[in-house]
Homo-oligomer: A and B are copies of this chain.
């Protein structure tokens, strides 16, 4: 027997409508690519989104068209998010750090009909143009007449929308209509496309916005440092409008100085980003004897949250919350939300809790399985491959025939994890990064975490290197503070003291700079190449 309630589709447009009627005077503040700060209200954003929708339709963009956007976190990209989704088109965000080859590949693969880009990325766009026969229009996200001179016959975004009607009659759409897409960063093989639906993003937004998930609310001032060019900036552009939060968009200013200025000047209380960004900001604030103003929480994910960051921010009264997710999960999977009274406990007791990835949010199911597919108990010890399912988790990659799931309908995350009895999930490693020593699995995350605690270590990566007896043993690669005189054997002792014997590293090597990938994470593939002829001293 079916219920007899209305069948109203879940659309991103409903979030926009809600924001406009209930929080019309709330602010959105942007650091502009062309310099200076831009500031407007939800109401004005709504008017410009409507104008943009008219312009898109006049440009020939319609239902199902994929439109590429290569840009920083700005109000203009926010407008593209809502206008494209609103007319039934697909906002295909491109990670400019993918590099021209991968960027060109995904734009062709997705069949982008138009490209919107920030001035910063004009050279990238111009270089790609000859290889993108299907693109009909280029639009630079810039004031009228300010287009970069680069041979692209690009329109200016501001000229494009100027004078268009500031209301739009959004069409009714099936809630499963595609609204956005994002490709994986292709650290292994070609990037693969994830095609998000309105339903998936609305549901993930509702769940992310719960006080038991991100834990931010209408009184917060929210700064997504996490880029809008990768997995919809973890959904913040939707969460912010749903809750009616003041939104602060950092544009191209992702360095310590610019971020610090935005946080303090705009009274940011809640920020989100990957660990590398928080390390940089922390160093800047410490070196310059500054503080974090009203910042209360930072949500950190994308790779493991190191103890060093937790302690560093804690000293300033900023609380670090860990989240875990992935492109294929829209991205939210878990958040580590503290129990009541958690912050009354001393930091040494808190650290072991805070380095966990967190509990699954509602409607995300998790399991950990052995390589044979047997389910592991949730005992905090039994490791295995982490698999997930739920309404905002991928079914099939774009353009693939077969779905991306196990036979029984779960998506394998590629991560290795344990689940604790209280529901906390803890990632040991990526399956491909796990160090396999004599049949045991060593977590590279644990080693890196220990290494980062050394005051002279700026960045760390643990790699499994061939060993004749144990199969693999850990090598620790570090990037030292400029001018540091610590010798590597001292670092090795420091690290090994903190680790269980089996995880003790066999050697430490230093590199000038540990390479980071397109999403700000350590690029182990590149490091492995660098060390391909290296032999462990223990392997003699």
Among A176, A194, A198, A215, residue most surrounded by chain B Cβ atoms (within 10 Å): A176
Which residue of chain B is the closest to A216 with respect to CB atoms? Answer: B211
Q: Cβ of A48 < 8 Å from any Cβ of B?
A: no
Interface contact A363-B18, CB-CB below 8 Å: yes
Segment from A183-191, A225-233, A388-396, A449-457 that makes contact with B: A388-396
Known: A211-B209, A218-B337, A218-B340. A3 touches B196 (CB 8 A): yes
Which of B1, B21, B178 is close to A177, meaning CB atoms less than 8 Å apart?
B1
For A10-22 the 0/1 string (1 means CB < 8 A from B) is 1000110110011
A318 contacts partner chain B, Cβ-Cβ < 8 Å = no
Asked if A330 and B5 sit within 8 Å, CB to CB, the answer is yes
Q: Let me know if A69 is at the binding interface, CB within 8 A.
A: no
Those of A44-75 within 8 Å (CB) of chain B: 63-64
A422 within 8 A of B: yes
Contacts of A217 in B (CB 8 A): 211-212, 215
**Residues 193-219 of chain A: 1 if any B CB is under 8 Å from the residue's CB, otherwise 0?**
011111110010011011110011111
A14 to B364, CA, bound (A): 9
- Contact between B363 and A21 (Cβ–Cβ < 8 Å)? no
Write the A400-428 contact mask toward B (1 if CB under 8 angstroms, else 0). Answer: 00000100010100000000001100000
Cβ of A315 under 8 Å from chain B: no
For A5, give its contact among B206, B360, B392 (CB under 8 Å). B392
Q: Which residues of B contact A21 (CB under 8 A)?
A: 359-360, 423
Contact between chains at B1 and A242 (CB < 8 Å): no
With CB as the reference atom, state the residue of chain B lying closest to A19.
B362
Question: Bound complex: CA of A196 vs CA of B10, how far in Å?
Answer: 18
Q: State the CA gap A113–B17 with chains docked (Å).
A: 43
- The answer, yes or no, to whether A302 is at the interface (CB within 8 Å) is no
Bound CA–CA A22/B2 (angstroms)? 30
Interface residues of A in 134-185 (CB under 8 A from B): 174, 176-179
**B177–A2 touching, CB < 8 Å:** yes
User: Is A4's CB within 8 Å of the partner chain B?
Assistant: yes
Shortest CB distance A66–B (Å)? 8
B210 contacts A176, CB within 8 Å? Answer: no
Contacts of A409 in B (CB 8 A): 6
**B211–A177 touching, CB < 8 Å:** no
Looking at the assembled complex, report how far the CB atom of A216 sits from the nearest CB atom of chain B, in whole angstroms: 8
What interface size band does chain A fall in?
35 or more
Q: How many angstroms from the CA of A396 to the CA of B6 in the assembled complex?
A: 8
Contact A398 B4 (CB under 8 A): yes
**A15 / chain B contacts, CB cutoff of 8 Å:** 362
- The chain B residue sitting closest to A90, CB to CB, is B1
Complex interface: chain B residues within 8 A of A3 (CB): 176-179, 195-200
User: When A3-B179, A3-B199, A394-B5 are in contact, do A359 and B22 touch as well, CB less than 8 Å?
Assistant: yes
Query: Are B340 and A5 in touch, CB under 8 angstroms?
Result: no
Q: Contacts A5-B197, A199-B3, A218-B340; is A22 near B423 (CB within 8 Å)?
A: yes
Query: Is A244 among interface residues, defined by CB-CB distance under 8 A?
Result: yes
Contacts A1-B64, A3-B200, A4-B195 supplied; 19 other A-B pairs, CB < 8 Å: A1-B90, A3-B179, A3-B196, A3-B199, A5-B196, A5-B200, A5-B395, A7-B391, A14-B362, A17-B365, A21-B360, A22-B360, A22-B422, A24-B423, A206-B210, A210-B243, A211-B211, A212-B218, A212-B243
Question: What are the 4 A-B residue pairs with the smallest beta carbon separation, nearest first?
Answer: A3-B197, A1-B64, A211-B217, A5-B200
A-B contact pairs, 26 of them (CB 8 A): A2-B174, A2-B176, A2-B178, A3-B179, A3-B195, A4-B197, A4-B396, A6-B390, A6-B394, A6-B395, A7-B391, A8-B390, A10-B203, A10-B363, A10-B391, A14-B362, A17-B365, A18-B363, A21-B360, A24-B422, A24-B423, A203-B206, A209-B211, A211-B243, A218-B340, A242-B362
